[in-house]
Amino acid sequence: MKILIIEDEHKIANSIKKGLEQESYVVDVAYNGADGYDLAVSENYDVIVLDLMLPDMDGIEICRKLRAENIHIPILVLTAKGQLEDKVAGLNSGADDYLVKPFAFIELLARIKALARRPKNSLGTILTSGDLSLDTVTYQVKRDGKEIRLSKQEYALLEYLLRHANKILNKEQIISNIWDYDADILPNTVEVYIGYLRNKIDEPFPKSSKLIHTIRGFGYKIGGVK
């Protein structure tokens, strides 16, 4: 198990590192956001422990950038006491869990273990629904053996739907998980992108059953029978 700690307070970072090493984890530490981001994209970690207030690049931005690049390493966010907004922002930006400072090391260890244990199908590299597959490492999307080319946004939408296959996702969930905070979202943006996806993954395969379903008044889902 390899853990990345991104935390600018040396004392906290080093004590977490020491504790985790005693538990036989391999631990890298970055003391600023930019170094942390560089390590996160270039090395393979099982879990990232991420402070929010960081020099160079803050934790929220790191989270968003990693998720935008389809890096799905579980992220545990550290946030100062009482900063509820930070917590919400952290989770919205793609973090998996959070811990309020100051925390007991045993609590941190339990959270890291829980994240590392997460079912592999939520972290795996190939996501499927029916005869459609999406490889999160190579970004290859295929249906019935044929490769489908998607734009970055279409890909992100399809990946999000597949990670929650057979579940109804509403527009707000889709927007907060697929688009940046500062993106220009129109009232019909989600419909438009669902339409683009249908044109690429359902329309060209008339013999296969439709994968994307509209659940009127609720949202959308992929897979299963409507």
Q: Interaction with Ca ion in 111-130: which residues (CB under 5 A)?
A: none
Number of residues binding to Ca ion, judged by CB under 5 A: 3
Q: Which stretch binds Ca ion (CB under 5 A): 20-28, 50-58, 153-161, 182-190?
A: 50-58
- Give which of 123, 187, 172, 132 is closest to 155, Cα–Cα: 132
51 binds Ca ion (CB under 5 A): yes
Residue with smallest beta-carbon separation from Ca ion: 53
96 binds Ca ion (CB under 5 A): no
Residue 134 — φ and ψ, nearest 5°?
A: -135, 125
Q: Which is nearer to Ca ion, 51 or 86 (CB)?
A: 51
> Which listed residue (1, 34, 53, 108) binds Ca ion by CB under 5 A?
53
Dihedral angle sign, alpha carbons of residues 28, 29, 34, 35: negative
Q: Which stretch binds Ca ion (CB under 5 A): 1-9, 30-38, 85-93, 200-208?
A: 1-9
Quick check: 157 and 174 in contact, CB under 8 A? yes
Q: Which is nearer to Ca ion, 51 or 159 (CB)?
A: 51
Q: Interaction with Ca ion in 3-22: which residues (CB under 5 A)?
A: 8
* Distance in angstroms (rounded) separating the CA atoms of residues 34 and 17: 19
Tell me the closest approach of the beta carbon of residue 93 to Ca ion, in angstroms. Answer: 16
Tell me the closest approach of the beta carbon of residue 128 to Ca ion, in angstroms. Answer: 40
Q: Which is nearer to Ca ion, 52 or 156 (CB)?
A: 52
CB atoms within 10 A of CB 219: 18
Q: 3-class SS at 127?
A: strand
- Give which of 111, 85, 114 is closest to 98, Cα–Cα: 111
Looking at residue 169, the DSSP 8-state letter turns out to be: B
Give how far the C-alpha of residue 137 lies from the chain's centroid of Cα atoms, to the nearest Å. 13
Tell me the closest approach of the beta carbon of residue 26 to Ca ion, in angstroms. Answer: 23
Q: Which stretch binds Ca ion (CB under 5 A): 44-52, 153-161, 187-195, 213-221?
A: 44-52
Q: Identify the bridge partners of residue 27 per DSSP, sorted by sequence position.
A: 3
Looking at residue 166, the DSSP 8-state letter turns out to be: T
Q: Which residues bind Ca ion (CB under 5 A)?
A: 8, 51, 53
